[in-house]
Structure 1
Amino acid sequence: MKTINYKEATTTKNPHDVDARKLHDNENVQVVHISLKAGESLKKHATAVDVFFYVLEGEGIVEIGDEKQKVTKDILIVSPKNIPHCLYNESNADFRVLVVKTPKPSEDQNKQAIQNILNSQSSK
């Protein structure tokens, strides 16, 4: 049996500049733990695969397409592929979310998503 404590996982460098820790990664699925401190957010982006978010702690705002909704602990949010999405922590406490991408995006899909985020930043 393999067990993983998110606190012991390494934070991965990402274009969002937030605490993101890859907990599981195989040919079928990718699982990332994201912790947003007060005032932090992701940069709005789209993924080439379906994603779902599961709120572990705190409250935040999830934006998918043109919809925004406040979410709290124990809520699962479905984010279809190719629809821009974002997570925001507008509270004073930590907002922790489990992000599951399925199927796992290819290396090329990941590179393209990162490039799109960087391009949208430089155009602002």
Structure 2
Amino acid sequence: MRITSFGNEPDRENPHGVSVKKLYDTEHAQVMHIELKPGEKLKKHVTPVDVFFYVLEGEGIVEIGEEQEKVSKDMIIESPARIPHRLMNEGTGTFRFLVVKVPRQTDQTKLL
């Protein structure tokens, strides 16, 4: 059995300049924990695989393609492969979510 606590994982260097922790990484899937402080956002990017986001805490804005929606705790948001997307914290509290990639991507994410 393997148990991972996000609090014990180091932040991973990333082009977005935000807190990203890798929680799960196998040949089949990958799970990242991202925390956006007020005013922080991910840069618009494209992933080569389908992704879903699960909101753990707070509220934020998710932009996928031309659509934008406000999301909050306990919501799951699907993001299809090769569609530009980003998440933003325009509020005053912390916005935390999981990013789940299945299957695990083998090509690099492309920033736009």
> Which is higher, the Rg of structure 1 or of structure 2?
1
Structure 1 residue aligned with 2:71: 71
Q: Partners in 2 of 1:8 and 1:68 — Cα distance?
A: 33
- Structure showing the higher helix proportion among its residues: 1
Percentage of matched positions with identical amino acids: 54
Q: CA RMSD in A?
A: 0.8
Query: Hey, what does 1:18 align to over in structure 2?
Result: 18
Match runs of 1:31-70 below 5 Å: 31-70=31-70
For 1:76 and 1:21, how far apart are their aligned partners in 2? 19
Distance 1:10 1:71 in 2: 26
Residues 75-98 of structure 1 show CA distances to partners (whole Å, capped at 9, x for unaligned) of: 000000000000000011000000
Q: Letter of the aligned partner of 2:62 in structure 1?
A: V
Residues matched between the structures, number? 112
1:93 corresponding residue in structure 2: 93
Distance, in Å, in 1 between the alignment partners of 2:28 and 2:100 is: 11
Aligned to 2:45, the other structure's residue is in SS state coil
Partners of 2:102 and 2:16 in 1: how far apart?
20
Displacement, 1:35?
A: 0.2
Runs of 5+ consecutive residues of structure 1 not aligned to the other structure: none
Gaps of 5+ in 2: none
More strand by share: 2
